[in-house]
Chains A and B, each alone.
Chain A
């Protein structure tokens, strides 16, 4: 049996301790060990961005990290962004502007957009497109995603 590694991290504000196999990816850990299935898997090779989460405030591709590498870190997933009762302004904008269809890319897209707006509160369309270019959406052609992010930026409530 492989030796397990013990890790402690904060996920969406709560402390979690677990023993993981060294090869357990962060996304599999979040999804299958913690049951946070909002983070999706689209490629497992770092291109699609479906697995995007925040690690200590910056977006990462959780398919390219081992869970063990997140030891001691603060992780935020879509489940920590807003709730049904209190949607995050980006979630509101995505819904208003039909910025999702199947929704599979959406959690990763919201986290990427959050980082984008934290870095640049008033991006141009061009900057939005470049800022989101690490996340693939197969459904929307990105048009309404750009609109939603622009609208959220205009409203100015994104933190």
Chain B
């Protein structure tokens, strides 16, 4: 019996929305426990300093204070953190600074008190004696032999460095008509979820176990990080993750959970900590800043034969994401283009800045920016149109599935058609005419183009490129359990989480189709609980993995349940399974719809009537399914590995006008044609495209974490760290192209991160195009009027990284 797509494909309203619209939902700060204490932290005012002495006695004596935790206690009661990808030479990192501070805002002392205000009062009573040391902030400075060391114990600021020669790069350069060199940088920014990080922890001494309500995007991995830190079994930790008010890769900070759990243990009562905005901007985590040097071997007709990359990634003072930005870039290093050979050299460098996290797209926005800037540079050098250069280099539609030099398998796509659609929507030719005419009148109109792959679903075996084949963690998959309730409705549990993507709705659509139910009869709890939800080590919400993993796990479990259901119905109807049909909550004999039985009748017998003969061998109607993606491989001897497993794509076209006097940048139109294969819920997909694109535009034009020369973060409120409002952002127009993936069960490809990957490149392309009469090249972000003004008035031809 085949599944009919009745619900999949519909832009249904989301099941999540009514609660969020009426009572505001159930976020971490809406939960409480009897006797709960509240935490606050003393944070480092220095970017780098030795901790000479801590006197917390007055804080401990303060009325209402239950516990104080310093680095000494943390080092005594917990084991140091290992990176998510274990480093061969790992420094020791604890939840609270131990002996030394390494960035401004690093937690130094944790306090639990009767309420937050009291905890903050007590924090002010703590005396910390520091011996300030000169910090190192710039990753190139950090590479110098005499640079101050962020982690002295590893003897260098380089956490990881490697080279990846893919194909015969030297032959390509020998064969080139010209070589184009570019150096571009990316700055620090973050998508700043509106809800900050939160955790509530309870410790039960008798069983030495913890119950944690809190934030993470990788529940299974973080549960194991906690277990390792406390030296307990994973079974002694129950991790409950309520819906998150946005996360975007940021809420992956198990150290924050460890600190709260330790406070709870010391205080002898539950402890809750809700990060405030200043703490969040200072210390939750930033996207890594980086410096990319590129060299392209180009033929006279614009074909790019090969590109050499050298990337220096600034990890800040953390190890949790070491090397990850670098390695994930191997997934989109060829972007949409037929590059015959590629070489990549990556450095992962620590400095005295905030540790980095996996902000939306992790690494890929920078790689897309770099490749697209290079493609534009080649067009500029050869005086070719920016659309034309792309048509000449695109991987052609008949070439799929297509293997790239770094070992990615692009599943499907039609890049020329995607770009054609986008250009048609903006009416490219007449825009170019308008631009030419405008230039004569002194108008600075620019048309930017970026075309890109949007990888989905990471294969965690890429970590073996750092930690070697002995690393246990590999692959990508998800776990799901489907239960038919006695009333004939279904409940779906997965290891996925909710941070706003509408996954509960999408899973309900999928499972409703599998079980012949109405979508309203399928519920998907949005709070994950490790005590009830199945998981595999790759579980969670990250890397655009939902489309090809959570979906398949749910289908797998639903099909097992359907099989059992049909066997039971066949017995009750005295028919053959092969003759049965499932629709609208009923099972009936094909061709004789009156001869049937409701799912509720079968389900209810399955649980109540245990004395029945059990045709499927056991009572109940519940099934568990663990899925692992067969595409996930291990690195081969040429360091090729499918870093990511599905490849959506998009063409972004931005039309901007720059004011020739104030350099104000106005986006006149913004068009996105995206292809994520088959869509489960086009309404949700469209929202993801808008939101991600907005993040990318914001990163390109507004947002930047800036530090002074002492390592003080200057952007610690939304007054200084500029988030765009509705008045700052354009309408996002667009359409979809659907080239279903032949490699996923539903033909789906990932969608959540894509816009954030592509938009920075499109905006840079547009502004550079507008400024062509002034001859300015854009090699850095964000592009702000004041910095453009500086560049132009000082006669610079390059808009580059500000020191």
Interface positions of A (Cβ within 8 A of B): 21, 23, 31, 37-45, 47-48, 50, 78-79, 81-84, 87, 91, 94-96, 98, 100-107, 110, 125, 128-130, 132-146
Contact = CB atoms under 8 A, between A and B. Distances in A.
Contacts of B719: 45, 47
Nearest to A85: B22
B500 interface: yes
B723 A98 contact: no
A144 to B, nearest CB: 6
B246 A138 contact: yes
B504 to A, nearest CB: 12
A78 B25 CA distance: 11
A18 B402 CA distance: 67
Interface in B150-192: 191-192
Contact of A96 (B13, B277, B693, B717): B13
25 contacts: A37-B24, A37-B27, A37-B30, A41-B274, A43-B717, A44-B276, A78-B22, A79-B24, A91-B21, A95-B13, A95-B21, A100-B20, A101-B501, A101-B502, A102-B243, A104-B27, A104-B195, A129-B725, A135-B726, A136-B194, A138-B691, A140-B687, A141-B695, A141-B729, A145-B726
Contact of B23 (A47, A78, A95, A137): A78
A130 B719 CA distance: 18
Of B193, B196, B244, B725, the most chain A CB neighbours within 10 A belong to: B725
Contacts of B723: 47-48, 136, 138
Of A39, A44, A48, A138, the most chain B CB neighbours within 10 A belong to: A138
Given A78-B23, A82-B22, A102-B193, A45 B717 contact: yes
A107 B24 contact: yes
A84 B22 contact: yes
Nearest to B31: A37
A50 B195 CA distance: 9
Contacts of B29: 31, 37, 41
Interface string B668-697: 000000000000000110111011111100
Contacts of B18: 84, 87, 95
A128 B731 CA distance: 12
A69 B455 CA distance: 51
A91 B191 CA distance: 26
Contacts of A142: 690, 694, 725-726, 729
Nearest to B681: A98
Interface in B257-291: 274, 276-277
Contact of A95 (B17, B30, B244): B17
Nearest to B727: A133
Give the top 8 A-B pairs by smallest Cβ distance, nearest first.
A38-B24, A141-B694, A103-B20, A102-B500, A104-B245, A101-B500, A47-B718, A141-B690
B539 interface: no
B20 A106 contact: yes
A100 B246 contact: no
Contact of A48 (B13, B30, B718): B718
B499 interface: yes
Given A105-B194, A138-B192, A98 B687 contact: yes
A100 B13 CA distance: 11
Contacts of B690: 140-144
Contact of B687 (A96, A101, A107, A146): A101
B14 interface: yes
A25 B690 CA distance: 34
Contacts of A104: 25, 27, 193-195, 245-246, 500
B727 to A, nearest CB: 4
Given A38-B24, A78-B21, A102-B195, 20 more contacts: A40-B27, A42-B196, A47-B723, A50-B194, A78-B23, A79-B24, A82-B22, A95-B18, A101-B246, A101-B500, A102-B246, A103-B243, A104-B194, A106-B21, A129-B726, A133-B728, A134-B725, A138-B193, A139-B194, A142-B690
Contacts of B5: none
Contacts, number: 182
Contacts of A107: 24
B732 interface: yes
B192 A103 contact: no
Given A82-B21, A87-B21, A102 B718 contact: no
A59 to B, nearest CB: 15
A15 B235 CA distance: 48
A96 to B, nearest CB: 6
B732 A141 contact: yes
Nearest to B723: A136
Interface in B346-403: none
A90 to B, nearest CB: 9
B277 A43 contact: yes
Interface in B188-217: 191-196
A143 B692 CA distance: 12
A47 B256 CA distance: 25
Contacts of A133: 725-728
Interface of B: 11, 13-14, 16-25, 27, 29-30, 117, 191-196, 243-246, 248, 274, 276-277, 499-502, 683-684, 686-688, 690-695, 717-719, 723, 725-729, 731-732
Contacts of A84: 18-19, 22
B32 to A, nearest CB: 8
Nearest to A136: B723
A103 B388 CA distance: 42
Contacts of A103: 16-17, 20-21, 24-25, 243, 245, 500
Of A43, A101, A145, the most chain B CB neighbours within 10 A belong to: A101
A102 B729 contact: no
Given A96-B13, A102-B193, A103-B25, A139 B500 contact: yes
A17 B29 CA distance: 24
A123 B783 CA distance: 31
A143 B22 contact: no
Contact of A98 (B30, B192, B686, B729): B686
Contacts of A101: 246, 500-502, 687-688, 691
Nearest to A147: B731
A106 B27 CA distance: 13
A106 B24 contact: yes
Of B194, B728, B731, B732, the most chain A CB neighbours within 10 A belong to: B194
A66 to B, nearest CB: 13
Contact of B21 (A50, A102, A110): A110
A136 B191 CA distance: 12
Of B23, B692, B719, the most chain A CB neighbours within 10 A belong to: B23
A98 B725 contact: no
A38 B27 CA distance: 10
A141 B194 CA distance: 13
B193 A132 contact: no
A56 to B, nearest CB: 22
Nearest to B247: A102
A145 B690 CA distance: 11
A37 B22 CA distance: 11
A141 B693 contact: yes
B277 A45 contact: yes
A87 B22 contact: yes
A78 B117 contact: no
A130 B727 contact: yes
A129 B277 contact: no
A129 B244 CA distance: 26
Contacts of A100: 17, 20-21
Contacts of B246: 101-102, 104, 138-139
A104 B243 CA distance: 10
A42 B22 contact: no
B14 A98 contact: yes
Nearest to B682: A98
Contacts of B194: 40, 42, 48, 50, 102, 104-105, 136-139
Nearest to B20: A103
A59 B318 CA distance: 41
